[in-house]
Amino acid sequence: MSTVLPFKGLRPKSDFASQIAAPPYDVLSSAEARTLVKENRLSFLRVNKPEVDFPPEQSAYTNEVYNSGKKVLESMISAGQLVKDSKPGFYLYQLNWLAKSQTGLVCLCSINEYENGFIKKHELTRPQKVNDRADHMVALNAQVGPVMMTLKPNQEINRLFDKLTESGAEIDFEADDSVRHRIWVISDDESIGKLKAAFEPVDFLYIADGHHRTESAAEVRRRLKEQNPAHHGSEPYNYFLSVIFPSDQMRILSYNRVVTDLGELSLEELLKKAEENFIIEKSYSPFEPLTNKEFGIYSHGKWYKLTARDGIFDDSSSTASIGSAILESCFLKTYLKIEDVQKDPRLDFVGGIRGLAELERLVDSGKFEIAFSVSAVTVGQLLEVADANQIMPPKSTWFEPKLRSGLLSHTFD
C-alpha cells in the first residue's frame, strides 16, 4: 500500500510563478546560480541555494546562510508573492518538453514507508549532502525541494490524471529552457478521495531524482522526533514533498564523465592498454552511445568509439550491465586507477542535457584531459535495480525535464 497525503501547499501567485520558479538546488554551481539571481531577484534560488546572496568565499554550510534563505522565504510570503492554501489538497504537475508530456501527483509521502522499503531507492547518499539539506529544512521549517518519484504504469491513475487536467491550469508558463510547467489545484473532497484510493493498491513507489532530499527529510524527522516528547507520528515532519510520475512517461538522459589526467600514461598508451577490454575505433564526429556496451572518448581534440568486449562484465546483472558500471569497473578502475568514483577528485560528472559539446569544452579548456560519453539508463533498468534492492553507480541517471523549485513547498507549521 502507498500512502499519499494532501497538504496545504505554499505556492506563487500565478503572476509571479515564472519569475519565482527556479532549477533544483543541485543542478547548478553556486557561480551559475549567482548569475541567475543577479538577473532575477525573485528567483527561488535565493531560498533553496541561499549562498547566492553571499560572497563566493563564504561557506554554504552555515546557519547564517540557511537563515538568509528563511528570511527571503518569509519576505516572499509577506509580500504576497507566495501564498499558502487554506485547505489541504493535491496538485497535478505537468511538464511539456519536446512534444512529450508527463503528469505527476504532488503530495506528501510517508517517511515510514521510505525507511521500511516500500519507497525504493537506487542510489547511495553522502552524509555531508544529507546534513546540508537537513539543516536547510530545519532552518526554513519547510521542505522547498520536491522529490521526483515514479510508479509502474497504472491505467486507473492515468485516467484520473487525464480527467483532472481537462480544465485550465492554475499555473502555466514556459521556462527559458523551453519546458512548459503547468499546475492544477485539486481541492474538492471527491477528487482527493479518488486519488488516495487509486494509490492505495500500489505496492511500491520509486525515488527517481532526489535521494538526498528524501534521506534529509528522514534525518529531519529523527531530529525533530527527539526534540518532541509528545511525538505521535502524524506531525508534518513525518512526510516529505513528492511529485509522482508514471514511469512510462519519464525520460532519462546520459550522465557523462570527465577526468583531469591520464595518470602516468599518454593517450596512445592508454588506448593501447584499453584494447584488452574494448574494441577501439576512431570517430570523426562526437560519439553518443546508443547501447550499454558503447562509449565515446574525447581527448586531445579527437573522438573515439569504444565497444565493450564480450565477457568483461556480468550481463545477467541488472546493476553490472549499466553503462556507467561497465565504464567504472572495466576502464576507470583498471586503467586510470580511479578506485572510488564518489571521492576521487580527478573525476567529475556532466549531465547529458549539457550535450557532447560541453565535454569538448571542458577538455579543450585544459581543466580535464579526457571525457567519456555514456549511454543513458532506461527507466526499466532503474526499476529492475531498485526491485533487486541494488544500488547503481553514482551519477547514473539524469532525469529531464527537471522539476522547478518554488512552485510548491511543504511547511511544517
Q: Are residues 207 and 336 in the same domain?
A: no
pLDDT of residue 413: 84
* The pLDDT of residue 319: 94
Q: What's the rounded Cα separation, in Å, for the pair 371 and 358?
A: 10
3-state helix, strand, coil split of the chain in percent (to 5) is 35, 25, 40
Q: How much is the pLDDT for 280? A: 98
Q: How many domains does the chain have?
A: 2
Together in a domain, 276 and 331: yes
Residue 342: pLDDT band (50, 70, 90) is confident
Residue 343 has pLDDT above 90, yes or no: no
CATH number at residue 344: 3.30.1760
Residue position matching grid coordinates 539539506: 133
Q: Check whether the bond before 401 is cis (ω within 30° of 0).
A: yes
The DSSP output letter for 248 is G
Q: How confident is the model at residue 394 (pLDDT cuts 50, 70, 90)?
A: confident
Per-residue confidence band for 365, with pLDDT thresholds at 50, 70 and 90: very high
Rounded Cα gap, residues 197 and 189, in angstroms: 12
Beta carbons of 304 and 281 less than 8 angstroms apart: yes
**119 and 211 both lie in a single domain:** yes
pLDDT 10s digits, 135-164: 999 999 999 999 999 999 999 999 999 999
In-domain check, residue 393: no
Range of the domain at 353: 255-375
| Per-residue confidence band for 1, with pLDDT thresholds at 50, 70 and 90 | confident
In a domain, 396, yes or no: no
> φ and ψ at 355, to 5 degrees?
80, 170
| 367 inside domain | yes
Whether pTM > 0.75 for this model: the answer is yes
Judge whether 355 lies within some domain: yes
Which tens digits make up the pLDDT trace of 177-199? Answer: 999 999 999 999 999 999 999 99
The reply to whether 93 and 55 lie within a common domain is yes
Residues 95 and 138 in one domain: yes
Q: Is residue 383 one of the residues assigned to a domain? A: no
DSSP designation for 167: S
Query: What is the tens place of the pLDDT at every residue in 44-92?
Result: 999 999 999 999 999 999 999 999 999 999 999 999 999 999 999 999 9
Give the tens place of pLDDT for each residue, 285-297. Answer: 999 999 999 999 9
Cell of 268: 596512445
State yes or no: pLDDT of 282 exceeds 90.
yes
In a domain, 394, yes or no: no
Same domain, 12 and 145: yes
The pLDDT of residue 376 is: 96
Residues 209, 312 within the same domain: no
Residue 170, classed as helix, strand or coil, is coil
Could you give the residue ranges of the DSSP H alpha helices within 110-210?
111-115, 127-140, 155-164, 189-199
* Residue 389 is assigned to a structural domain of this protein: no
Q: Is the pLDDT of residue 13 over 90?
A: yes
Q: Is 285 part of a structural domain of the chain?
A: yes
How confident is the model over 276-284, as a mean pLDDT?
Answer: 97
**Same domain, yes or no: 231 and 296:** no
The residue-averaged pLDDT of 261-265 equals 95
Q: Residue 295: helix, strand or coil by DSSP?
A: strand
Compute the average pLDDT of residues 328-339. 96
Within this chain, do residues 245 and 263 fall inside the same structural domain, yes or no?
no
Q: Average of pLDDT values for 336-346?
A: 93
Same domain, 118 and 177: yes
Residues 226 and 362 in one domain: no
Per-residue pLDDT at 182: 98
Rounded-to-integer distance, Cα 230 and Cα 365, Å: 57
Q: Are 106 and 9 in contact (CB under 8 A)?
A: yes
Q: Does residue 259 share a domain with residue 248?
A: no
CA distances, 132 to each of 46, 50, 121 (Å): 15, 12, 20
